[in-house]
């Protein structure tokens, strides 16, 4: 994960953890990695990870179990809503970026359709 210095790290971690849930990287009902594991993986302070995880709990994406750790929600409605939110935010950034270079809607849709159908969709180039 690349850290954006213009935003608080804990908010970026909330976004990352949300993406992991909606993408299925963290599967429904599965135990999440521990605070220490995530802090090591991401190279951030454990307190920052804890703050972000507390927010994912508040959003309903994860559920802390007092003696067992933290688990991804099994509530499909919560996950579906989060997926829609992530998608909408991504679309908004896409539209703003393309409008910023003078691209019109039809041209953007055509390029998106072409890219979506490309065999390398979703892979790093």
| Alpha-helical regions (H) of 24-104 | 35-42, 46-58, 76-100
Tell me the two tokens of residue 65: 């179990």
What's 31's DSSP letter? Answer: B
- Helices 9-23 and 76-100: crossing angle in degrees, nearest 10, is 120
Q: What string of DSSP letters covers 44-63? A: S-HHHHHHHHHHHHHTTSEE
pLDDT in tens, 4-27: 889 999 999 999 999 999 999 999
Sign (positive or negative) of CA dihedral 65, 69, 70, 76: negative
pLDDT score, position 122:
56
The residue ranking higher by pLDDT, 57 or 122, is 57
| All residues at 6 or more sequence positions from 22 whose CB lies less than 8 Å from its CB, including other chains | 79, 82, 83, 86
pLDDT band at 123 (very low <50, low <70, confident <90, very high): low
Q: Residue 1: pLDDT band by 50, 70, 90 thresholds? A: confident
């Amino acid at each position: 994960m690349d850290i954006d210095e213009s935003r608080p790290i804990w908010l970026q971690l909330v976004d990352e953890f949300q993406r992991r849930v909606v993408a299925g990287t963290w599967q429904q009902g599965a135990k999440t990695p521990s605070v220490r594991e995530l802090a090591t993986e991401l190279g951030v302070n454990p307190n920052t990870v804890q703050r972000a995880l507390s927010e994912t709990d508040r959003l309903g994406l994860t559920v802390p179990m007092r003696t067992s750790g933290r688990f991804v929600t099994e509530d499909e409605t919560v996950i579906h809503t989060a997926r829609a939110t992530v998608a909408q935010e991504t679309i908004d950034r896409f539209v703003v970026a393309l409008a910023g270079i003078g691209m019109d809607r039809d041209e953007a849709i055509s390029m998106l359709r072409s890219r979506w159908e490309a065999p390398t969709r979703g892979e790093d180039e």
